[in-house]
Amino acid sequence: MTRKMQVAVLAVALSLAAASCSGGGLGLGGEVEGDYRDAITTALVWPSPEAIDVYIATTLQGSTAAVDEADRESVRAAFRAWTSGFSGMNVAFVDSASGAEITVQFASQAAGVPIARTSVDAAPSGTEIEAATILFIVEPAPHDLDLTALHEVGRALGMVEGTSPNAFDVMSGQPNLIDAPSARDLATLEAIYDEQGVSI
């Protein structure tokens, strides 16, 4: 067996193993079906997911240096990728942090943050999100910002802690292998909102 064939066989085996470990069945395209709700240990919901205001900073934290517009667009694209899967979840990009529910910041470095960090403030109800802040390390980014943004936006939208056991989900704890939320990612987020009686 050639090295190329061995790699192909290994890739198929890993995909099948991931499917069996996740508790879902394989769909027609090889994707794993179902959700991984039980793997999300902290789940919260936005009380009004149809109108979430997002502010994306234009300057680096603690600096007057401008954030690269391509980095800001990567974040906007991540929000669009998540919300386009739902008719009842929408974000509006606003020009001021004042009043924004989600604030996105950028820094060249930050103590204890090697790549990115999402902080979510729970409302007194204990089931809803009051505010969220995402911080990305850039200049230069030590990661693929497009893929990192997808993961962090998933956190800010409600999957606060916990990871998918499947490497082909955006919320996997492993480096992302896909460039958009999977059907399982979307099903998991929807399940979280359904638990609280919030339709997305």
CATH number of the domain enclosing 137: 3.40.390.10
Residue showing tokens 């997911």: 49
Residue 52: inside a domain? yes
Q: Which residue range is the domain that position 136 belongs to? A: 42-195
The amino acid occupying position 67 is V
- In this structure, is residue 113 part of a structural domain? yes
Q: Which residue has the tokens 């505010």?
A: 131
pLDDT tens column, 111-152: 899 899 999 999 999 999 999 999 999 977 667 899 999 999
Residue 79 falls inside a structural domain: yes
Residue 178's pLDDT is 84
Domain assignment present for 56: yes
Q: 41-70, pLDDT tens digit by residue?
A: 999 999 999 999 999 999 999 999 999 999
Looking at per-residue confidence, does 48 or 30 come out higher? 48
In sequence order, which residues have a C-beta less than 8 Å from that of residue 44 and are 6 or more positions away? 120, 122, 127, 128, 129, 158, 160, 192
How many domains in the chain? Answer: 1
Q: Pairing state of beta strands 91-94 and 102-107? A: unpaired
Residue 4 inside a domain? The answer is no
Distances (CA, A) of 3 to 6, 7, 16, 18, 51: 5, 6, 20, 22, 51
Whether the pLDDT of residue 23 is over 80: the answer is: no
- pTM for the structure as a whole: 0.83
Residue 8 lies in a domain: no
Percent composition of the chain: helix, strand, coil (DSSP 3-state, to 5) = 30, 25, 45
Per cent of the chain over pLDDT 70 is 82
Within a domain: 5: no
Query: Using CA atoms, how far apart are residues 139 and 54, in angstroms rounded to an integer?
Result: 22
The per-residue pLDDT for 176 is: 66
- Kindly state the DSSP code that residue 39 receives in the 8-state scheme: G
- 168 and 33 Cβ atoms separated by less than 8 Å: no
Tell me if 116 is assigned to some domain.
Answer: yes
- Dist. CA 22–CA 16, nearest whole Å: 10
Average pLDDT value over all residues in the chain: 85
Q: At what angle do helices 69-83 and 145-156 cross, to 10 degrees?
A: 50
